[in-house]
Structure 1
Amino acid sequence: MKKLTIFAVLLMSAACTGVDTIGREPKFTPDVESSERIAMLTPSLPQSRTPSRRIDNASLWSGERQSLLGDRRAVQRGDIMTVVIEIDDRAEISNSTDRSRSGSESLAIPQLFGIPQRIDPRLPAGASLGDAVSVNSSSSSEGDGSVRRQEKLTLRVAATIVDVLPNGVLAIEGRQEVRVNFELRELLVSGFVRPADISRLNEITYDKIASARISYGGRGHISEMQQPRYGQQILEKVAPF
């Protein structure tokens, strides 16, 4: 009875999963405690610099970030940059193997001081030393394999510097969510970039991000219909056939 009760509770909990989305659109991920928000609320310590003259602060040609010609690329914790994702990869591999081998061995004693002629009458019917041993063998092996893959993805997402490592490398994270009717599209980006790889337009391409993690997917009613039910997934894992 106790086992039946536990099993019923498990079934009810599995059935209740996703009940809050029945007849409703999927909710956005709350950003109250996101790493990007924390990085913006707790910026890095200000760098020490020598005091400049008042005339330099009013000059348009100064190197300050607030000036007209200043470098406004993201360099510190809490700054925002644009990540450009343009993936157009194509790979094609084809292997073919063909191997064959044949062998033949034969041993005959038709004449040996007349011994075969004396022994043959004593052998069973059909047996003779004229063809003592004959062995034939052949083997063949053939294999063929091919792999073909093509991926194309073009996206742009804003990422926030969440940490500045001791060697100056920037740790970035970015999240983008777009909801259309009852389907929510998610784009997640994270990794490590060098400040020198950030362009003057405050952009960086995905191929210059170390340990890049790019996730493009979604959740909602359409995504749920494309996934098998929980019971079916459990049966596929435990079924031996």
Structure 2
Amino acid sequence: MANGEGDQYDSSRIASSTIAGSATSAVSDETMTRISRHYFTNDNDRSSGDGFSVDIIENIQEEYGMFVWPCAIALAEYVWQQRSRFSSKSVVEGVDQLGAGTSLPGLVAAKVGANVTLTDDSKNPEVLENMRKTCHINGLRCRVLGLTWGEWDPPLFSLSPDFLLGADVLYDNSDFDDLFATATFLMKNCPGCVFITAYHARSGHHLIEYLMSKWGCKCTRLLDAFSTVPPTKASNLHGSIQLAEIVLNDHIT
């Protein structure tokens, strides 16, 4: 999945030069933009040719949202390992007002054959453009939508996902209800839809259990994310990361 040192930054490339097709030898001092490369292969063997890499444009000037955080790596790894579930399925990635951010889990889903929509707050045009550029450099045609979770924006009604993906969705308590309101709406409109999220245990699972009960949801699978991440990749991750699959309660119609 990763190389011997884990997923690393390729500081010899920056987003602007990659898209333009020219080369540069360092991270741009002006834009502070860099690309990290993430590997997904069987048996941690990149030489086997069975797998792929995903390049992610990151902006190291941003306070948050445009980095590849540990939860995104864990969730992307889970998508890779469960790839047969995602092939030919409709996938939406996004998390509360931060949206998909750097989009790693969604891009992995697209690589394994899913029809992917990436979302972020419509008030964040720079992030939306960053996602479009990231799709471009990976040769992927993902739909990118401005969508604020918790608000009934028109694009919301065009979505029919089989899976919702969210890395670090449970970060700020004040956003939790907005997240569950939108996720529940989509799951009700799309029978069988599964919401899969990776989050740091700092959020407190008791609060998450309360929210699931409040919004008529239940957790069907809860994992220690490190149980699914190869050692070489796990060595670069920090904190206690949980991975949960959430669905509507059976009696919800």
Q: Which has the higher strand share?
A: 1
Question: Which structure: larger Rg?
Answer: 1
Task: Give your verdict on TM over 0.5.
Answer: no
The structure whose RCO (Cα within 8 Å, separation 6+) is larger is: 1
When the two structures are superposed, what TM-score results if normalisation uses the length of structure 1?
Answer: 0.21
Q: Which has the higher helix share?
A: 2
When the two structures are superposed, what TM-score results if normalisation uses the length of structure 2?
Answer: 0.20
